[in-house]
Amino acid sequence: MSSTTTATLNTKPLKVGFVGLSASGWASQVLGPALLDPEVQEHFKLVAVSTTKAESATASAQKYSELLKHEIKAYHGDASQIASDPDVDFVAVAVRAQSHKDIVKKVIEAGKPFFVEWPAGRNVEETREIAALAREKGVKSFVGLQGRQSNITQKVRKIIDSGKFGKLHSVTANFLVPRELGAWGPIVKSSLDFIVDKNNGVTLLSTGVGHFLDNFVQTVGEFASVQASGTTLYRDTTVVDDATLEPIAGRPTLHNTFPDHFTITGILKGSGAWVTIVIRQGHKSTPGRRQLLWEIEGEEGSLKIEDGRVCGAIIGARDPEDVYINGEKVVWDKENDGVSKFDNPVPFVKSSWLEFAKGKENGGYYVDIEEALKHRELLDAIERSFNDNGKWIDL
């Protein structure tokens, strides 16, 4: 980042151009509302949007012009237009993973700092290419692994770091991606049908589990080595209506190309703790079915995180429901803990933007493209183990 842009970050809002901010969808439901927050607006000012079509760009620009009470420029088509706009200081990119690399490269070539949604490319090679170019051009970056802002996991990490449990010996997790989410299988929402093909870069491992594993590593430490094996129980996937989850007549059955049930085992650096993570995907959220169970065992005590709510394992969407220390439930106290638990994705994203505004040099706690690459390398090691009959991979 140039000295001019750095000064802008510290003294007045960065002017943001947003690629992929349509009038509907994930970006409009979560990323847009975070940018509208008054605290975030002290550091970032949305000035332009870019989508694939003129109609959606115009609709988005009109929507945010009305909400923000200032004109928003509308671009469509080639992202070079918004990236090269002299009135844009910073570019956010929230599009399908298969377009991440091409768009972000244009932003970096224009010398602009950027945000890109996770998984920052279709695979580790694309993430590596983005990171290398950002490093070469010296631009700052920010990647959408907003789960790091979880108040629960940050508190748990502090407890572990305090030495309360002594040396860590084992960490186990049981993680469910339920059928009601409408992702991968045995049903998939029409708007998400592209994710069933692993070549599009949005697999159960890279996204659902990838988000969780970032929280996991930040809480208990990095892996020294990993091994993984699994199977596909739901080989056929029915395309369903986004709202009703009912099958859409005439839509062909899709075929899953990635395991939907697998186990990750590993050894942590430093502590040498043994890790077992079981991933289940596609089960109905029937009464009593556990969505998340995460147990951390130390020489002197233990901690357990549980969530029975639908999609409760998706920590970047809301803070986990219950925490137990040595069998006793921890009561979250806003007065003592300083903040409320997050109950939807918007405050996670808001907190990420505010941490980026601080900058790494001032202790900002967010994921940049270098850290994103390191995380992709972990996920790549897990996938390589899948593909090599569960071979142990050193990291």
| 395: Cα separation from own chain's centroid | 22
The pLDDT score that the predictor gives to residue 335 is 76
Tell which phi-psi region holds residue 121, choosing left (phi > 0), alpha (psi between -120 and 50) or beta: left
Q: How many CA atoms lie within 13 A of 50 on its CB side?
A: 23
* Number of other residues whose CB lies within 10 A of the CB of residue 341: 16
Which of 78, 145, 84 has the alpha carbon at shortest distance from 116? Answer: 145
Q: What are phi and psi of 380, to 5 degrees?
A: -65, -40
Confidence at residue 339, expressed as pLDDT on a 0 to 100 scale: 81
For position 142, what pLDDT does the model report? 95
Classify residue 309 by its DSSP letter. S
Q: d(Cα 182, Cα 189) in Å, to the nearest integer? A: 5
Each residue's pLDDT expressed in tens, for the chain with a length of 395 residues: 333 344 344 578 999 999 999 877 789 999 999 999 999 999 999 999 999 999 999 999 999 999 999 999 999 999 999 999 999 999 999 999 999 999 999 999 999 999 999 999 999 999 999 999 999 999 999 999 999 999 999 999 999 999 999 999 999 999 999 999 999 999 999 999 999 999 999 999 999 999 999 999 999 999 999 999 999 999 999 999 999 999 999 999 999 999 999 999 999 999 999 999 999 999 999 999 999 999 999 999 999 999 999 999 999 999 999 999 999 999 887 777 778 899 999 999 999 999 999 999 999 999 999 999 999 999 999 999 999 999 999 99
Residues 6+ apart with CB under 8 A from 112: 83, 88, 89, 90, 91, 139
Query: Which pLDDT does position 271 carry in this prediction?
Result: 95
Residues facing residue 266 across a β-bridge: 226, 275
Cα(120)–Cα(111) distance, rounded to whole angstroms? 18
Tell me the DSSP string of 141-178.
EEEE-GGGG-HHHHHHHHHHHTTTT-SEEEEEEEEEE-
Cα dihedral 150, 153, 157, 159 in deg (nearest 10): 120
267, HSE (Cβ side, Cα atoms, 13 Å): 10
Instruction: Provide the pLDDT for residue 6.
Output: 40
Three-state DSSP state, 203? coil
How high is the pLDDT of residue 163?
94
* Helix (H) or strand (E) run with residue 72 in it: none
**What is the DSSP pairing of strand 292-298 with strand 90-93?**
unpaired
d(Cα 325, Cα 15) in Å, to the nearest integer?
A: 45
Cis peptide bond upstream of 113, omega within 30: no
Are the CB atoms for 226 and 385 separated by under 8 Å?
yes
> Which residue has tokens 């802002």?
149
Bridge partners (DSSP) listed for residue 144: 117
Identify whether the C-beta of residue 19 lies closer than 8 Å to the C-beta of residue 91: yes
